[in-house]
């Protein structure tokens, strides 16, 4: 049975930990066995951990987990929590008698969302990272959870979204996960229609399709320009057998999914990036053509993941939100927007 989540790729588990007082959280993606991985960074303001080792020329070939966190630079502590959980489980890259867990990660900015960020000397993200790893499962929540707890988009709340698909002609599957905290908008103008509507499967984000006409103001550049205050973090996974270089190419192709689902995307104000991982159970019959098919499917899956993250987002109790925006055919909670900071 498929769940339309990234965990439809066997060997992946996802866990969330949220702090509703802080209005932030952590999402951990754990792998039952180490996986090949790479990353592509397109945003102008990224915040990352151990992404240099994902370059194809680096020594370490495989990773044990990925971590996505709110909290901006403070959220980089989440990686230490996931690392601690893996170390207790005996996981990691062997170095003599020691094992070193390999946990790349990235952070998004959610410091101005109304949560209480007066956490004292040490932020809560290390503990949240440990809890997220401990909670990892093949079934997980979407919306305002984990790294998407306090996320927002250009005018609506953001959140965690995920989707999956088979790749015709290859025997492979792809899955995507996105923590949507974008500078741009996932919806077209003031209406309920998603930019990603052409790629929707089975009414997974409302089934409203595309509008008859895109209003001119839907393409207007957002008025709120706060450098470094937005980021969409994404992961695409496949069961294909890929090298690090091929994973890098998969991440590059999957970035098109962000551009199809968010307008604008990849700006100097965002820290947009895509991790790509491969579990390696299905060989490619044609290394070039099949990789192209995988990239095309990954882009569509990621566009759907972005829309689902926004569609499933909900109001955080006790946090500052504007009056609900009236959007025909969608639940009122989905339409709550954060006050402009």
Give the residue from 224, 312, 229, 318 showing the smallest Cα distance to 22: 318
Does pTM top 0.85 for this prediction? yes
pLDDT of residue 333: 37
Give the residue from 285, 282, 299 showing the smallest Cα distance to 239: 282
pLDDT of residue 270: 83
pLDDT of residue 21: 93
pLDDT of residue 228: 58
**Residue 24, strand partner residues:** 19
At 188, phi and psi to the nearest 5? Answer: -90, 110
pLDDT of residue 340: 32
10-residue stretch averages of pLDDT, the chain, 341 residues long: 92 97 96 97 90 92 97 97 96 90 96 91 97 97 96 90 96 97 90 93 93 85 71 97 97 97 88 96 96 98 97 73 34 36 29
């Amino acid at each position: 049975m498929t769940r339309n989540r990234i965990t439809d790729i066997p060997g992946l588990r996802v866990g969330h930990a949220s702090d509703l007082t802080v209005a932030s959280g952590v999402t951990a993606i754990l792998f039952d066995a180490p996986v090949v991985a790479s990353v592509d960074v397109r945003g102008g303001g990224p915040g990352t951990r151990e992404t240099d080792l994902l370059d194809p020329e680096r020594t370490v070939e495989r990773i044990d987990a990925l971590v996505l966190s709110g909290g901006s630079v403070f959220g980089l502590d989440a990686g230490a929590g996931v690392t601690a959980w893996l170390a207790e489980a005996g996981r990691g890259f062997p170095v003599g008698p020691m094992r070193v867990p390999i946990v790349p990660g990235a952070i998004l900015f959610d410091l101005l969302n109304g949560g209480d960020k007066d956490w004292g000397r040490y932020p809560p993200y290390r503990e949240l990272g440990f809890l997220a790893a401990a909670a990892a499962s093949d079934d997980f929540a979407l919306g305002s959870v984990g790294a998407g707890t306090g996320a927002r988009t250009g005018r609506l709340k953001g959140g965690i979204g995920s989707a999956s698909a088979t790749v015709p002609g290859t025997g492979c599957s792809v899955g995507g996960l996105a923590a949507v905290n974008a500078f741009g908008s996932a919806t077209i103008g003031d209406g309920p229609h998603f930019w990603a509507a052409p790629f929707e499967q089975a009414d997974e984000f409302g089934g409203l399709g595309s509008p008859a006409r895109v209003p001119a103001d839907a393409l207007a550049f957002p008025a709120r320009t706060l450098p470094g205050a937005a980021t969409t973090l994404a992961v695409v996974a496949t069961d294909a057998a890929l090298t690090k270089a091929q994973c890098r190419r998969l991440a590059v192709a999957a970035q098109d999914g962000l551009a199809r689902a968010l307008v604008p995307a990849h700006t100097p104000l965002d820290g947009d990036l895509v991790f790509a991982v491969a579990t390696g159970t299905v060989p490619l019959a044609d290394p070039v053509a099949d990789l192209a098919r995988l990239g095309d499917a990954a882009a569509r899956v990621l566009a759907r993941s972005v829309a689902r993250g926004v569609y499933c987002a909900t109001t955080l109790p006790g946090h500052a939100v504007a009056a609900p925006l009236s959007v025909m055919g969608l639940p009122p909670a989905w339409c709550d927007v954060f006050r402009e900071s």
